Amino acid sequence: MQKILSYFRRAVQEYDLIEDGDVIAVGVSGGKDSLLLLAALQAFQKFGLYDYKIIGITLDPQFQGVSTDYSPVMEFCQSLGVEYHVVPTEIGKIVFDIRNEKHPCSLCAKMRRGALHDKAKEFGCNKLALGHHNDDAIETFMMNLFIEGRIGCYAPKSYLSRKDLTLIRPLSFVPEKEIIRVAKKQIPQVVKSKCPVDGHTMRESMKDFIREQERNAPGFKKRIFGAFCRANIDGWGGKTYFRDLVEDHPASNGKAERYHLLEQEIARRLKEGQYENLGN
């Protein structure tokens, strides 16, 4: 867990994910990622850097009209001293029975997001933590590029103005292999998804593609992740990389001005022209 917390703390500080007084809802699917996120948030509290509360929330899609047994998750939350809620929904029925979607993942994800946001607000939370890890970010970026033909990813931190809710992803720097390694020791039991298409999605195909590229050219994932961080795609540059679009101009041949920063104060001074002689 120590290595996980190192990645965790880096993300928290890089993207300002947690503040004193936060009430953080955690979207808990019952899988290794969300359960490890719960454990990491609870362990991170012990550092005493921030004073915050954690609430675990599980949405039960009730696939094929059958409720899932989340008692292992409840017991795990009790062992951590974390408040936990299971919320029954009809998402499975709507997606697979009523709508009979040929490509159900998009609608299912949209409905789960909406329901989770509503419940987080209902329980008095100002932030919602999701268990997306480093491999998830790389896969999403590659899927957007190859399938949708656009450069983009979800953000490590984003504010939903309509809900007055901030989404955070504290595991953003953690490789999936590290989560698997630690989960075997730290997570007593996971709850397997009952989704009819689990393991047969476009994301699984992209996982296979990325694994093949990593085997053929070791470091492939690290280079992809580094590229969209340096370009500050969707805020992934954090405090380390700063890009001011105002500085894009024909004289630079279309190349944005980029500065490697350690503090936002340096960024402000650059924008004010205090370091004009530093160059690009």
pLDDT at 55: 97
pLDDT at 200: 62
Instruction: Give the mean model confidence (pLDDT) for residues 52-80.
Output: 90
Neighbours of 149 (CB within 10 A): 7
Q: Are 236 and 229 in contact (CB under 8 A)?
A: yes
State the chain's mean pLDDT as an integer.
Answer: 85
Q: Which residue did the predictor score with more confidence, 58 or 106?
A: 58
Give the DSSP H or E segment for 24. Answer: strand 23-27
Q: Are 35 and 26 in contact (CB under 8 A)?
A: no
Which strand ranges, in their side-by-side order, compose the sheet holding 165-168? 83-88, 53-60, 23-27, 127-129, 165-168, 157-160
**R_g of the chain computed on alpha carbons:** 20
Condensed to tens digits (0 to 9), the pLDDT of residues 123-175 reads: 999 999 999 999 999 999 999 999 999 999 999 999 999 999 999 999 999 99
Condensed to tens digits (0 to 9), the pLDDT of residues 208-267 reads: 999 999 999 999 999 999 999 999 999 999 988 765 444 444 444 434 344 344 445 555
Distance CA(174)–CA(132), nearest Å, equals 9
Q: Which residue did the predictor score with more confidence, 238 or 202?
A: 238
Give the Cα-Cα-Cα angle 184, 188, 193 (nearest 5 degrees).
Answer: 85
What does residue 242 show for φ and ψ, rounded to 5 degrees?
A: -120, 135
Strand partners, 83: 55
> How is residue 193 written in tokens?
């998804």
pLDDT at 111: 85
Q: Which residue did the predictor score with more confidence, 186 or 96?
A: 186
Distance CA(79)–CA(187), nearest Å, equals 11
Give the Cα-Cα-Cα angle 233, 239, 243 (nearest 5 degrees).
Answer: 45
Distance CA(38)–CA(44), nearest Å, equals 10
* All domains in the chain, ordered by first residue: 2-206 (3.40.50.620), 239-280 (no CATH)
Q: Are 132 and 155 in contact (CB under 8 A)?
A: no
Condensed to tens digits (0 to 9), the pLDDT of residues 30-65 reads: 899 999 999 999 999 988 899 999 999 999 888 777
- The pLDDT-based confidence of 273 (bands split at 50, 70, 90) is low
Sign of CA dihedral 261, 262, 263, 266: negative
Instruction: Give the mean model confidence (pLDDT) for residues 88-114.
Output: 79
